[in-house]
Structures are given as C-alpha cells and as structure tokens.
Amino acid sequence: MDAICCPGCGEDEDLTGTRSGPPGDETITVTCGACSLVWERDLTPTCPTCYSTDVRTALRSIVDKSRGTQLSIQSMQTVHLCRTCDAEELAVWNQSNTPLRPTELPVEGD
C-alpha cells in the first residue's frame, strides 16, 4: 500500500478519507487533521520506483502453512507491475497468466 501524507504539512497519521462515486469512478477526499487541508487522492496506479503510470495489473499469491510445512495459497494480492522496473515479473505474468510467486514466505516457528 502506498503511504499517504498531507501535501501541505506532511502529516501521515491524522488523516481521514471519504469515498464517493460509483464503482470504477470512485474518488477519495482526504482531510488532514493537523492543518485542515482537503484534497482529492489520485487513485491512478503508479510504479513506486519510477512513478510511471504505464503499469499492468497482476495477481500475487499470499501463502501460509496449512499443515506442517505444507504451503497453501491463502489469498491473492493485486499488484501493479511497471513495464520498466518490473520487466522480469511482468514477462512471467504475461507468459503464464497465473498468480506470481509470493514476495514473503512464512517464518519457521509460526
């Protein structure tokens, strides 16, 4: 998830948001509790590395131990892959169209 902070004062905790609009055309209006600035949050997916909006939506699996050491997919996470920064993962997604491997595996002892 992207970190959200107030463009006026930099506050990143005392923020409230209100979602409005129909699905697919939603907007989120954010209010800063520190300086009272109100702005509309940009919901356009962007690359966190290069800030490009030329990204493709893919799915990444989230796994957990289901029995002993056996790993099972517990859920899916929507990710946005940049054509430049995530070229290798995007190639895997384009070839297989199956969920990408998880970035984290359960830790021993869990």
DSSP 38-105: EEEEP-----TTT--S-EEEEEEEEEEEEETTEEEEEEEEEEEEETTTTHHHHHHHHHH-SPBPPS--
- 57-90, pLDDT tens digit by residue? 999 988 887 777 777 778 899 999 999 999 999 9
Provide the residue ranges of all domains of the chain, joining segments of one domain with +: 1-43, 44-105
Q: Could you tell me if 44 and 51 are in contact, meaning their C-beta atoms sit under 8 angstroms apart?
A: no
CATH T-level topology, domain 1-43: N-terminal domain of TfIIb (2.20.25)
Q: Contacts by 72-76 with C-beta closer than 8 Å and gap 24+? A: 73/99
- 43-54, pLDDT tens digit by residue? 889 898 998 999
